[in-house]
Structure 1
Amino acid sequence: MIDPLYLFVFAGLFTPGPNVILLTASGARFGFRATLPHVLGVATGVGVTSGLTALGIGALLLAVPALKLTLQILAVTWILWMAWKLLRSRGARAEGKDRPFTFLEAVLFQWVNPKVWIIALAASSGYASDLPAHLEALRIGSAFSGVNLFVCLFWTFAGTLLAYLLTTPLAWRIFTTVMAIALAGSGLMVFLA
């Protein structure tokens, strides 16, 4: 029998949000191999963030409104900045200083990714077991990290395949514009958390 936590995490992380949008765009623009550090950073960062949420950091954010607001402002600022960078990119493959996220950048992004916080808070409260706190945090963190690794690989590969359809500068422009708008829109989730 599959632990329902895994199905919840899959459904929550597979749907479009900042990571899915960024990985799909990176796969299309930089290729699968160049995006792998980003993939591994997301999977690691999501696992750490959700594990720490299960240990009580999520409850701390809810209990200290100023801390929550600070995190929300940082999140929306970073997401809008990335959307602006994507919108201003010329599209097809890497140009100039353009590059995919590094492993560390992807790990750190999870701390301001509103979707991860929302799903981690819901998983911690709705799918908790009777394990001691540290084992529960390990259970939730490993579920998020393991499931998300496959989700990230899927969306990166999808972006890589999508690049084969983007054969003109106009197609690339439309793609990067749509992805930038979707990323900026995902920033609205910050204030729903």
Structure 2
Amino acid sequence: MISLLVAMATFALVTSISPGPVNILATVTSANYGYIRTIPHITGATFGFVSILFLLGFGLSQFMTEIPYLAKGMTYIGGGFLLYLAYKVTTQESTIKSKGSVESNAAPSLLQGMMCQWLNPKAWIVSLAGISVFYTGQNTGLEVLLLFCGIFFVVCYLSISVWALLGITISSMIDTPKQFRLFNLSMGLLLGITVLYTFFISS
């Protein structure tokens, strides 16, 4: 049992901490709005991922296997949405007027954080891989699925928070609107690249 827990936690950490659309958005949001206003995005993204994981383990993965074009269609629809977000990040004006002064633009909400996962091809790929490795649904009790979801909830929340704290660190080193525009441009392009890479690995 201990070895299973370690394996699940390791898988969750490696897949959650790696660069991806949700983590990049957490960094951008935290850099522009601060960590507190990034919490809804972190919480929503965590719930969103765990809900995907649970539904796939509960039987959705078999349904998707029987309809192969469904997964591919979801990948392109979700990827298109994330590319739109990349464009919005790239063209976003700085929310920082001066050091310590933040405009009252709306940071991502909890629901938007959930949608970022539900429309994130990487989340579906990782969840499908995790379910196939740790939970087959055959000779495996539901408690194993719930345990896997619980581990992923904790690890995912902490991993996205690490990226948000990176945003705080970056914002402490740049303090002019021009620098923030350059940062947003760089992160938007990085987000776009990660989405295109997801298209490549899922094709």
Q: Normalising to structure 2: TM-score of the pair?
A: 0.85
Q: Residues 132-151 of structure 1 correspond to what in structure 2 (within 5 A)?
A: 132=141, 134-151=142-159
Query: Following the alignment from structure 2 to structure 1, what is the Cα–Cα distance between the partners of residues 157 and 201?
Result: 25
CA contact (8 A) 2:135 2:145 kept: no
| Residue 114 of structure 1: aligned partner | 121
| CA shift in 2, pair 1:184/1:62, >3 Å | farther
- The one-letter code of the counterpart of 1:131 is T
- What is the total number of aligned residue pairs between the two structures? 191
Structure 1 equivalent of residue 106 of structure 2: 99
Alpha-carbon separation, structure 2, partners of 1:8 and 1:52: 19
Cα-Cα RMSD: 1.9
Write out per-residue CA displacement over residues 37-84 of structure 1, whole angstroms, 9 at most, x where no aligned residue.
111111111111111122232332233133223312221111011001
Q: Secondary structure at the match of 1:136?
A: helix
Number of the residue aligned with 2:133: 126
**Structure 1 counterpart of 2:109, one-letter code:** T
What's the TM-score, normalizing by structure 1?
A: 0.89
SS at match of 1:3: helix
What is the letter of the counterpart of residue 62 of structure 1? Answer: T
Unaligned runs of 5+ in 1: none
SS of the residue corresponding to residue 164 of structure 2 reads helix
Structure 1 stretch 70-79 or stretch 6-15: which is displaced more?
Answer: 70-79
Report if aligned partners of 1:54, 1:136 keep a CA contact under 8 Å in 2: no
- Distance between the aligned counterparts of 1:73 and 1:106, measured in 2? 19
For the residues of structure 1 that align with 2:33 and 2:88, how far apart are their CA atoms?
15
Q: In the alignment, which residue of structure 1 is the partner of 2:99? A: none
Aligned-residue identity in percent: 24
Which stretch of structure 1 is more off in the superposition, 54-63 or 116-125? 54-63
* Structure 1, 45-54 or 26-35: larger mean CA deviation: 45-54
State the shift of 1:95 in Å: 5.0
Which residue of structure 2 lines up, in the alignment, with residue 170 of structure 1? Answer: 178
Post-superposition, which runs of at least 4 consecutive aligned residues in structure 1 deviate over 4 A? none
